[in-house]
Amino acid sequence: MRVAVIDGQGGGMGKYITERLRKEFGEAIEILVLGTNAMATIQMLKGGANEGATGEHAIIYNVDKVDFIIGSLSIVLANSMLGELTPKIAAAVASSPAPKLLLPIHKSNVTVIGTVKEPIPHAMEKVIDLIKQRMESE
């Protein structure tokens, strides 16, 4: 199973997601980190990813080649992350056939009604459970 983690700016959340996935699944999954900038990619690679790529083209190219895409809600919002998340990236992520596991953490002017504000570790437990369910069904 191949999982993409997408992040930008400093890559801190992506690094946390990568570390958590690696701790839970070990080498049973391949983690591809996709950063909107080099700093984000480097931080996520430090979290234990198998490989990483940076920039708009790399993200667009890879989102159709994974089994899951994980990141904040911002990865489907054009011009989020202080403009680092381009409209082309948002469209490619949203259009990818891979299931998107989006954490409701963002700094944009968007409120998702019905979501519960909870710490990232709690939200990550739900992400882990969904990946486990998919692995068990295959």
- CA 65 from chain centre, in angstroms, equals 14
Averaged in consecutive runs of 10 residues, what is the pLDDT profile of the chain (138 residues)? Answer: 94 95 97 97 97 98 98 93 94 98 79 80 90 92
Residues 6+ apart with CB under 8 A from 22: 31, 47, 48, 49
Torsion of CA 109, 82, 73, 108, to 10 degrees: -10
Kindly report the CATH number that applies to the domain delimited by 2-137: 3.40.50
pLDDT of residue 107: 67
Q: Which of 56, 68, 74, 59 is nearest to 25 (CA)?
A: 68
| Secondary structure letter of residue 85 according to DSSP | B
**Which amino acid does the sequence have at 45?**
L
Contact status, residue 65 vs residue 95, Cβ threshold 8 Å:
no
